[in-house]
């Protein structure tokens, strides 16, 4: 049961902050915004919680029967690009991986895939929505073809190369490349057309917990795609994966990092980790623009809303905060002190 | 004469004796009894702060493992001290450990090896009390173990218990002056056995879940009758304990967490199929399912005789304590690391004391609390280092002595618990979790 909706409001300069205490003791490992509705969802035990950003509807919780679905723990969730489906990854650690695809907003389970491997740790839809990739605790990445017509999931590829858990993954905007980060401290770039490992980056010296893709507005001039990765080595690194270049390293975090997210404008990056602080980074430099002491526990999940007006953060205790970005993010640098 | 089990300690106190003494009734309680104690518990305090570790696995080598045969060898000491084992290099330049821990040697980059643990209690029970609670043994007060303190702080809202002992707790791994509800939930059996079943989690074969359900309904009915006739703060939530016990018994989450048979053969082999190996694998599963503190008890380290045979070989070649520990410990650390869990999981390896530097006339070593080792890894600990050292013969710390108070202080701090918090006992007396400790220098 959701304990309380809005815990409190607080003004951080130009940022409005609202906290939702959702599930006591359930670490929030992923948050996703609906691509077109003002809705955010995050994981719970045997459930997901949906929160309406405009309060047009009360918070609701969609439950699953773990025995039927095999979903004992949810680790990752993502919306289909058309907003009609929500996909969940998880399972039972060391026992079984499970993928659930729910019809949105009804929550009806339309696909349920069980894998006799380890649990699944992360999930991503391709930008066209035809592919679904999941990372496993057993180090494999599985790519499925998702058919909307009959909601079928057909396994297309197994990408093997990580030497430990896959912690996060994403598709580039052409769906040609898949980027993954792992507990083996590597970032790997996979060529999906050939089903092969294209490149491995071993620059990080800690677990790569999170990956984020720079949105298209920022590289519409035909530039290679950029990604950001966050690691327990206390750095955020920005890459041009195709050409094999680490563009930038952002230090000065002084804490182990678990999550990174690009603002839809592409000009900002948010990072967070063990110290509960959210840091806003200028994507075009290595400058930390602003630090906000947001949570009193480890932050595991960050997500910007598609319109860029909200940043959601989730912590180990089960608290989710929404930070309203009330000014043009591109002006942040001039409005704040580093 | 009945052969004496190698799992006995030299003082002859085993669990049965202990239960007879009536000191550990919590472990013999049934599930509802265990949960009922909650009514007497103080509400979890706010004495927590941001944690570097979210969970803790304590591997307890019961009986007192020899530091001179494991992690603090003295190859240059006289023959009556140095023993038969040779040191080997590890993956950290300058750190050398026993030749019988070759797999552990490859994971020392994750480990902070404390070689200067020291205290003055050379008896198993007093030594265990000191190490497990961080408080000197007192004739009038039994202090809570670190696991029970964690349970008190974490609360009991989840289906899975916050503190689990594999296969069961040892003396002074319990709740001490805290309510019995913070005792560890004991598996009650050896998980390495093929017919292993978690005690209290699986109803007896003769008792079907339907019958459990009927009993629960009957309990609810009786409880409603009772509530309609009387109200008291202790009695009112009686049904809650049964509900919690029922939830644990029937919850898919708990069934999944303990389902060791679901692990792949590769995972089983990585840890080894020994008692300590399967215990470590179970601990990893429990941590992944949200259990915060797991104690694995490995008995049989009280080696007063034939230590150089018993440690590596015992009954047959490779069947001794060190090979199984080597496999289990290295497997656990490696697996946690590969699964991205080591960062949030503190792993401790220790016993109640070290062993005498001088080899006795039975080719064994006796109790020696003045020097011992503790291995700490993960959970914010800086690995690949040695903290403290002992003198040339391994008799006493030569630099940076670490006391049990310091160990408990550091452990609780890593778990986000304020170690000097004063708990309000039911009689109104404030008692600090740990008195007089300090954070171990250089540990994080």
Confidence class for position B25, pLDDT limits 50, 70, 90: very low
Q: Quick check: B288 and A93 CB within 8 A?
A: yes
| B99 interfacial to chain A (CB closer than 8 Å) | no
CA distance A114 to B248: 25
Q: Quick check: A94 and B338 CB within 8 A?
A: no
What are the Cα distances from residue B263, in Å, to A61, A163, B15, B81, B284? 31, 18, 30, 43, 11
Highest mean pLDDT among A37-51, B45-59, B112-126: B112-126
Is A318 a domain residue? yes
Q: Quick check: B340 and A275 CB within 8 A?
A: no
State both tokens at B362: 């039975």
Residue of B nearest to A96 (CA): B262
Q: What is the average pLDDT across A189-206?
A: 94
Confidence class for position B190, pLDDT limits 50, 70, 90: confident
Q: What is the average pLDDT across A89-102?
A: 91
**Preferred mutation among B339, B342, B383, B384 to probe A, highest tally of A CBs within 10 A:** B339
pLDDT given at position B35: 43
Task: Report ipTM for this prediction.
Answer: 0.76
| B339 interfacial to chain A (CB closer than 8 Å) | yes
8 Å CB contact between B90 and B97? yes
8 Å CB contact between A49 and A318? no
DSSP per position, B360-371: -TTS---EETTS
Say which of B289, B340, B344 has its CB closest to residue A165.
Answer: B340
- For residue A46, pLDDT over 50 is answered with yes
pLDDT given at position B386: 98
Structural domain that includes position A45: 1-63+294-329
Antiparallel, parallel or unpaired: β A96-103 and A109-115: antiparallel
Q: What is the average pLDDT across B170-179?
A: 88
Q: Which of B294, B307, B338 is nearest to B100 (CA)?
A: B307
Say which of A137, A275, A316 has its CB closest to residue B339.
Answer: A137
Question: How many residues would you count in chain B?
Answer: 444
From chain A, the residues in CB contact with B282 under 8 A are: none
Q: Quick check: A24 and B157 CB within 8 A?
A: yes
From chain B, the residues in CB contact with A183 under 8 A are: 337-340
Antiparallel, parallel or unpaired: β A73-79 and A85-92: antiparallel
Confidence class for position A5, pLDDT limits 50, 70, 90: very low
Q: Quick check: A96 and B262 CB within 8 A?
A: yes
Q: What is the pLDDT of residues B223-272, one digit of tens each?
A: 665 555 554 444 434 444 555 666 676 777 787 888 888 888 888 999 99
- For residue B207, pLDDT over 80 is answered with no
| B211 interfacial to chain A (CB closer than 8 Å) | no
- For residue A7, pLDDT over 50 is answered with no
Q: What is the pLDDT of residues A158-196, one digit of tens each?
A: 999 999 999 999 999 999 999 999 999 999 999 999 999
3-state secondary structure (DSSP) of residue B436: coil
Q: Quick check: B252 and A165 CB within 8 A?
A: no
From chain B, the residues in CB contact with A136 under 8 A are: none
CA distance B277 to B280: 5
Q: What is the largest CA-CA distance in chain B?
A: 77
Under 8 Å CB pairs connecting chains A and B tally to 72
From chain B, the residues in CB contact with A94 under 8 A are: 262-264, 267, 284-285, 288
Say which of A25, A164, A297 has its CB closest to residue B339.
Answer: A164
Residue of A nearest to B154 (CA): A25
- Homologous superfamily assigned to B15-37+52-200+258-432: Alkaline Phosphatase, subunit A (3.40.720.10)
Alpha carbon of B50: minimum distance to chain A alpha carbons (Å):
5
pLDDT given at position B275: 92
Q: Quick check: B340 and A24 CB within 8 A?
A: no
Confidence class for position B120, pLDDT limits 50, 70, 90: very high
- For residue A287, pLDDT over 50 is answered with yes
From chain B, the residues in CB contact with A275 under 8 A are: 50
Q: Quick check: B50 and A93 CB within 8 A?
A: no
Residues 6 or more apart whose Cβ sits within 8 Å of residue B435 = B135, B405, B420
CA distance B196 to A275: 41
Q: What is the pLDDT of residues B55-107, one digit of tens each?
A: 999 999 999 999 999 999 999 999 999 999 999 999 999 999 999 999 999 99
CA distance A168 to A136: 10
From chain A, the residues in CB contact with B263 under 8 A are: 94-95
Say which of B49, B337, B343 has its CB closest to residue A256.
Answer: B343
- For residue A1, pLDDT over 70 is answered with no
Of B185-194, B215-224, B344-353, minimum mean pLDDT range: B215-224
Q: Quick check: A164 and B253 CB within 8 A?
A: no
Q: What is the average pLDDT across B382-409?
A: 97
Which of residues B159 and B65 earns the better pLDDT score?
A: B65
What is the number of domains present in chain A? 1
pLDDT given at position B202: 59
Confidence class for position B12, pLDDT limits 50, 70, 90: low
CA distance A286 to A296: 26
pLDDT given at position B319: 79
Q: What is the average pLDDT across B339-358?
A: 96
Q: What is the average pLDDT across A61-71?
A: 83
Q: What is the average pLDDT across B393-413?
A: 97
pLDDT given at position B191: 72
Which residues from A are below 8 Å from B when comparing CB atoms?
A: 24-25, 27, 45-46, 66-67, 72-73, 92-96, 121, 137, 139, 163-165, 167, 183-184, 207, 209, 232, 256, 274-276, 296-298, 316
Which of residues A221 and B60 earns the better pLDDT score?
A: B60
Of A142-146, A245-249, B166-170, minimum mean pLDDT range: B166-170
Average pLDDT score, chain B: 83
Alpha carbon of A15: minimum distance to chain B alpha carbons (Å):
24
Question: Cα B342–B344–B345 angle (5° rounding)?
Answer: 60
pLDDT given at position B55: 96
Q: Which of B348, B167, B265, B350 is nearest to B273 (CA)?
A: B265
What are the Cα distances from residue B8, in Å, to B12, B188, B274, B317? 6, 18, 18, 22
Confidence class for position A14, pLDDT limits 50, 70, 90: very low
Which of residues B349 and A45 earns the better pLDDT score?
A: B349
Buried b (16+ CB within 10 A) or exposed e, A185-207: bbbbbbebeeeebbbebebbebb
State both tokens at B67: 């530091």
CA distance A58 to A121: 29
| B110 interfacial to chain A (CB closer than 8 Å) | no
pLDDT given at position B11: 62
Q: Quick check: A25 and B343 CB within 8 A?
A: no
Alpha carbon of B253: minimum distance to chain A alpha carbons (Å):
6
Average pLDDT score, chain A: 86
Confidence class for position B19, pLDDT limits 50, 70, 90: very low
pLDDT given at position B33: 43
| B137 interfacial to chain A (CB closer than 8 Å) | no
Q: What is the pLDDT of residues B288-344, one digit of tens each?
A: 988 999 999 999 999 999 999 999 987 777 779 999 999 999 999 999 999 999 999
Highest mean pLDDT among A247-251, B34-38, B238-242: A247-251
| Residue A50: alpha-carbon gap to chain centroid | 16
Which of residues B92 and A318 earns the better pLDDT score?
A: B92
Of A34-38, A58-62, A198-202, minimum mean pLDDT range: A58-62
Which of residues A60 and B245 earns the better pLDDT score?
A: A60
Q: Where are the alpha helices (DSSP H) in B3-83?
A: 15-20, 25-28, 31-36, 79-82
Q: What is the average pLDDT across A311-324?
A: 91
Alpha carbon of B71: minimum distance to chain A alpha carbons (Å):
27
Alpha carbon of A276: minimum distance to chain B alpha carbons (Å):
9
Dihedral (Cα; B230, A1, B44, B252), 10-degree rounding: 90
At which residue do the structure tokens 């620059």 appear? A203
Alpha carbon of A164: minimum distance to chain B alpha carbons (Å):
4
State both tokens at B304: 């007063």
Tell me the three-class secondary structure of A242-258, residue by residue. Answer: CCCEEEEEECCCCCCEE
State both tokens at A279: 């840091």
Residues 6 or more apart whose Cβ sits within 8 Å of residue B283 = B57, B164, B166, B294, B296, B332
- For residue B366, pLDDT over 80 is answered with yes
| B267 interfacial to chain A (CB closer than 8 Å) | yes
CA distance B130 to B418: 19
Residue of A nearest to B338 (CA): A164
Residues 6 or more apart whose Cβ sits within 8 Å of residue A248 = A237, A238, A285, A286
3-state secondary structure (DSSP) of residue B104: helix
pLDDT given at position B315: 74
């Amino acid at each position: 049961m959701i304990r309380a909706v809005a815990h409190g409001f607080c003004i951080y300069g130009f940022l409005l902050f609202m906290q939702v205490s959702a599930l006591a003791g359930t670490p929030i490992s992923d948050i996703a915004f609906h691509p077109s509705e003002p809705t955010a969802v995050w994981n719970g035990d045997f459930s997901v919680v949906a929160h309406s950003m405009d309060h047009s509807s009360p918070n609701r919780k969609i439950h699953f029967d773990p025995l039927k679905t095999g979903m004992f723990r949810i680790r990752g969730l993502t919306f289909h690009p058309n907003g009609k489906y929500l996909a969940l990854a998880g399972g039972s650690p060391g026992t079984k991986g499970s993928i659930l695809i729910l019809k949105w907003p009804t929550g009806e389970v339309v696909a349920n895939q069980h894998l006799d491997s380890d649990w699944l740790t992360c999930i991503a839809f391709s930008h066209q929505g035809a592919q679904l990739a999941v990372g496993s605790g057993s180090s494999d990445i599985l790519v499925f073809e998702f058919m909307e017509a009959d909601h079928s999931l057909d396994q297309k590829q197994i990408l093997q190369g990580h030497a430990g858990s896959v912690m996060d993954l994403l598709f580039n905007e052409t769906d040609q490349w898949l980027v993954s980060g792992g507990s083996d401290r590597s970032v790997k770039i996979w060529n999906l057309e050939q089903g092969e490992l294209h490149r491995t980056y071993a620059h990080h010296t800690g677990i790569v917990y999170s990956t984020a893709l720079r949105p298209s507005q920022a590289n519409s001039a035909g530039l290679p795609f950029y990604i950001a990765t966050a690691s327990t080595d206390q750095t955020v690194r920005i890459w041009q994966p195709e050409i094999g270049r680490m563009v930038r390293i952002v230090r000065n975090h002084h804490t182990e990092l678990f999550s990174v997210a690009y603002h839809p404008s592409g000009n900002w990056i948010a990072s967070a980790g063990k110290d509960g602080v959210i840091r806003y980074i200028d994507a075009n430099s290595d400058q930390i623009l602003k630090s906000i002491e947001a949570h009193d526990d480890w932050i595991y999940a960050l997500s910007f809303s598609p319109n860029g007006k909200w940043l959601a953060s989730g912590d180990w205790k089960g608290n989710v905060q929404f930070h309203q970005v009330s000014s043009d993010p591109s002006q942040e640098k001039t409005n704040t002190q580093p | 004469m009945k052969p004496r089990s190698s799992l006995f300690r030299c003082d002859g106190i085993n669990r049965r004796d202990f239960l007879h003494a009536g000191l550990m009734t919590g472990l013999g309680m049934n599930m509802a009894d265990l949960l009922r104690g909650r009514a007497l518990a103080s509400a979890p305090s706010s004495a927590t702060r941001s944690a570097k570790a979210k969970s803790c696995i304590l591997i307890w080598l019961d009986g007192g493992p020899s530091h001179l045969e494991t992690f603090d060898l003295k190859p240059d000491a006289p023959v009556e001290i140095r023993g038969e084992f040779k040191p080997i290099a590890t993956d950290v330049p300058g750190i050398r450990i026993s030749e019988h821990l070759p797999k552990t040697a490859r994971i020392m980059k994750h480990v902070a090896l404390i070689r200067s643990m020291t205290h003055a209690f050379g008896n198993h029970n007093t030594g265990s009390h000191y190490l497990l609670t961080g408080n000197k043994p007192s004739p009038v007060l039994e202090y809570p173990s670190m696991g029970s303190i964690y349970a008190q702080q974490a609360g009991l809202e989840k289906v899975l218990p916050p503190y689990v002992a594999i296969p069961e707790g040892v003396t002074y791994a319990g709740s001490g002056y805290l309510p019995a509800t913070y005792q560890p939930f004991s598996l009650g059996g050896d998980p390495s056995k093929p017919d292993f079943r978690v005690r209290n989690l699986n109803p007896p074969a003769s008792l079907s879940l339907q019958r459990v359900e009927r009993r629960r309904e009957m309990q609810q009915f009786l409880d409603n009758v009772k509530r309609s006739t009387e109200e008291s703060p202790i009695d009112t939530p009686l049904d809650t304990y049964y509900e919690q016990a029922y939830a644990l018994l029937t919850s898919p989450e708990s069934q999944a967490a303990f389902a060791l048979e679901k692990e792949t053969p590769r995972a089983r082999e990585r840890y080894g199929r020994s008692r300590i190996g399967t215990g470590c694998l179970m601990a990893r599963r429990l941590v992944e399912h949200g259990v915060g503190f797991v104690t694995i008890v490995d008995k049989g380290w009280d080696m007063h005789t034939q230590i150089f045979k018993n440690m590596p070989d015992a009954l047959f070649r490779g069947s001794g304590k060190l090979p199984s520990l080597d496999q289990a410990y290295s497997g656990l650390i490696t697996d946690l690391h590969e699964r991205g869990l080591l960062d949030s999981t503190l792993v401790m390896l220790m016993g109640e004391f070290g062993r005498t530097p001088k080899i006795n006339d039975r080719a064994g070593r006796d109790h020696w609390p003045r020097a011992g080792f503790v291995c700490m890894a993960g959970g914010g600990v800086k690995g690949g280092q040695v903290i403290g050292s002992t003198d040339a013969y391994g008799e006493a710390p030569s630099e940076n002595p670490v006391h049990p108070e310091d160990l408990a202080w550091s452990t609780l701090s890593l778990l986000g618990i304020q170690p000097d918090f004063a708990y309000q006992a039911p009689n109104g007396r404030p008692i600090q979790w740990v008195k007089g400790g300090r954070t171990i220098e250089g540990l994080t």
